Structure 1
Amino acid sequence: MRKGILIFTLISFLLLNTPVLAQEPLNNIDLQPFLKLTMNVTLVNTGEYPKFIAVNPTYDFKTFREGDEYLLHNTTDLIQLSKANLILNKRVGFWIYPHEVLKVEFSINIPMDLGELYLQDYADLCYPDYTITWSTKRITYPPSLGVGPLCEVVYPHLINYPILVDLTSFIQVRDPEIVIYSYSGEVEFTITNRGPKTMFAVALPLIPVDAKIYSITPNPDMNYTEYMGKFLPTYLKSQVQNAKFNLTQESVLFEYTDTLLSTMSSQQNLIQNSITTNEDIVDYPIWIVVLGENSSFDIKYKFQWEFTR
């Protein structure tokens, strides 16, 4: 149920937001997220009629066929179209002809909403109402903190959790004769620090289910189970409650190589088709990050999926 809610939330977010907003929101330690998603989708028209597929104009798109066909956002309210035949019934899109195999590239720049995609605030057990306004160097705090002069150790709090996305459903055309043969793409996730020096842990923002994920840069520092079960207890010298996992045959563990995030079987053999649709995803990459003022941290990775009978 939770996976369905997350997928619905993400789809609603992608459909309702424009590519560029004036200002992305910050969390309580002044971190500003930005997500860029590029997808190449191969479509097959198995029918006998040419079909015009309307496209969400939030996305830039380009068809890979003879002659340039594209939609490009120059600004938030100005769209450039390459040809007049990309409009039908005042809808923007493209034609796919009988028995044609067509590759289409979609891209979108998404200023991530901190609530929608769960980039969390830093959890402070000492004085949660204490804030610093960095631009004025002003400190705001309640009249009585109720504690001594020393408080707690600041630690790299995990500020996000991956969103599972079933891209085959996400990009599905409501026509049984239009078949998605394959898709591939790249995710670029940037976190910029708009305040003083900050420390945090961050995970992959999106995981396309049933797709292979590879070429992850930079190399992850650890996985989630290591972060919860080893890193935090060692860092804080305290017992952190271990996450509970319901392991099933569909559940997977991730094993890292230089270029591939893949599943790991009980024999420790790499399996190329990595992530399953089961919602009990056990492990995913984690990075520990320290950022100075106005500096950024970038995570990039690729994904691919192909139809199999």
Structure 2
Amino acid sequence: MKRPAAFLLLFISLFAALPGHYQVRAAGTLQGDVLIDLNVTLVNTAPFPKFLVLNPAYNITVYRRGNNETDLGFYIDKGMNLNYNPGIWIMPYETVVINVRVSKTESYSLPSITCGGTDGTSIGCGVVVPPLLNSPSQLSALSMFPLVDGHIRILEYQGVVKFNVYSGDEGTFKKFFAVTVPVVFVDGRMYDFTPNYTMDYSEYVDALFEYTGTGRRSVNVENSVQMPQGMFQLTPTLLTGVSVGMPGQVLPSNESYELPVWVVTTGTGVEITYRVEWSAGGL
């Protein structure tokens, strides 16, 4: 795990000179594109066929497995439906792999520091710290397939998540910020982070205090986020007078988990990828 001193190395490149002429499409904001590419393996354990309804909002491809036969992929279309519900037939004891691609885009605002004096006061207005821009959503086998049928069972899932954070100013302005994973798979394993994350969330909080030379604030227990025993305690204000963002509650079922955090200095953006996997028999 990298130490908080990594802030210094990241901050050095912020002193590059800006060009004299520029056009800004969306000053103070960043865009985040998330792509989830996931393969989910299911089996029909019943001695009769089942029609599995699939969400038409997603880009889905189905691969059928049959002994030594070559896998066959096809897209869900309007012609595959039952009682006007789109989906697929799963034959008795058949195993299928459902590939789903989910994409979404979010906008993040970079906090600005306000300078109010014009009479010689407020010449220095503050110090820029890397705010945590995003909070992860949560996925699990149960949330992806909330089935009430006891014969359709999820065997495993695996895939890759890509997270591209970029600006609209074509690199004219330098940005200094922190991000975490866009999606947490609470019952699975996340690994193979590229690039490697800078630190985990607890280290990120400690690094902010060290970076600004401030001490921890006292926290009102009644107003703090209540987390299960063994999980980290979070509050929305990490530094005195500075709100840097707080991830939502993340409750992995297998063990307490520290969110990875990337501290980024960039002109154009950064792309983060990581892999995920889960098996009904355990990882």
Quick check: TM above 0.5?
yes
Structure 1 residue 248, shift from structure 2 partner: 3.4
Distance in structure 2 (CA, Å) of the matches to 1:122 and 1:241: 23
Of 180, 188, 209 in structure 2, the residue corresponding to residue 211 of structure 1 is 188
Bigger relative contact order, structure 1 or 2, given CA contacts below 8 A and separation 6+?
Answer: 2
CA contact (8 A) 2:28 2:110 kept: yes
Distance in 1 between residues matched to 2:35 and 2:263, nearest whole Å: 21
* Residue 248 (str. 1) matches residue 247 (str. 2): no
**2:29 maps to amino acid:** D
Report the equivalent of 2:177.
200
The 3 A distance-change label for structure 1 pair 194 and 54 is: same
CA contact (8 A) 2:30 2:110 kept: no
One-letter code aligned to 1:187: V
Q: Deviations over 1:164-218 (max 9, x none)?
A: 3333233232322111111112111111112432110111111111201111110
Q: Does 1:122 align with 2:110?
A: yes
Partner of 1:303: 276
Provide the C-alpha distance between the structure 2 equivalents of 1:109 and 1:187, rounded to a whole number of angstroms. Answer: 10
For residues 276 and 35 of structure 1, the distance between their equivalents in structure 2, rounded to whole angstroms, comes to 21
Aligned length: 226
Q: 1:228–1:240: 8 Å Cα contact kept in structure 2?
A: no
Q: Distance in 1 between matches of 2:53 and 2:61?
A: 13
Maintained 8 Å contact 1:58/1:108:
no
- The separation in 1 between residues aligned to 2:123 and 2:38, in whole angstroms, is 52
Q: Are the equivalent residues in 2 in contact too, given 1:193–1:291 (CA < 8 A)?
A: no
Structure 1, unpaired ranges of 5+: 1-25, 72-80, 131-141, 253-274
What SS does the aligned partner of 1:64 have? strand
Deviates more, 1:232-241 or 1:216-225: 232-241
Asked whether 1:69 is paired with 2:74, we answer yes
- The answer on whether the counterparts of 2:60 and 2:99 sit within 8 Å (CA) in structure 1 is yes
Instruction: Tell me how far apart the structure 1 counterparts of residues 34 and 73 of structure 2 sit (CA, whole Å).
Output: 27
Mapping for residues 1-309 of structure 1, pairs under 5 Å: 29-65=28-64, 66-71=71-76, 81=77, 84=79, 86-112=80-106, 114=107, 119=108, 121-124=109-112, 126-127=113-114, 148-195=122-169, 196-229=173-206, 231-241=207-217, 248=229, 251=231, 276-277=252-253, 281=256, 283-292=258-267, 295-308=268-281
Q: Tell me how far apart the structure 2 counterparts of residues 27 and 285 of structure 1 sit (CA, whole Å).
A: 28
Amino acid at match of 2:200: N
Question: Which runs of 4 or more aligned residues in structure 1 lie more than 6 Å from their structure 2 counterparts after TM superposition?
Answer: 142-146, 242-245
Q: CA deviation at 1:123?
A: 3.9
The verdict on how the C-alpha distance between 1:179 and 1:145 changes in structure 2, with shifts beyond 3 A counting, is farther
Aligned-residue offset at 1:27: 8.7
Extract unaligned runs of 5+ from structure 2: 1-24, 65-70, 233-250
> In structure 2, what is the Cα distance between the partners aligned to 1:69 and 1:166?
24
d(CA) in 2 for partners of 1:178, 1:62: 18
Q: CA 1:110–1:246 in 2, change beyond 3 Å: closer, same or farther?
A: closer
- Based on CA coordinates, which of the two structures has the bigger radius of gyration? 2
Task: Answer yes or no: is the 8 Å Cα contact 1:228–1:242 preserved in 2.
Answer: no
For normalisation by structure 1, the TM-score amounts to: 0.64
Identity between Structure 1 and Structure 2 (%): 29
Does the C-alpha gap of structure 1 residues 285 and 145 become closer, same or farther in structure 2, counting only changes over 3 Å?
farther
Q: 1:68 to 1:202 in 2, by over 3 A?
A: closer
Contact 2:117 2:123 in 1 (8 A): no
> Displacement, 1:303?
0.8
Q: Within 1, Cα distance between the matches of 2:136 and 2:27?
A: 20
Cα RMSD between the aligned structures? 3.2
Q: TM-score, normalised by structure 2?
A: 0.69
Per-residue Cα deviation, 1:94-123 (whole angstroms, up to 9, x for no partner)? 1111111111111122123x5xxxx5x334
Cα distance, 1:298 vs. partner? 0.9
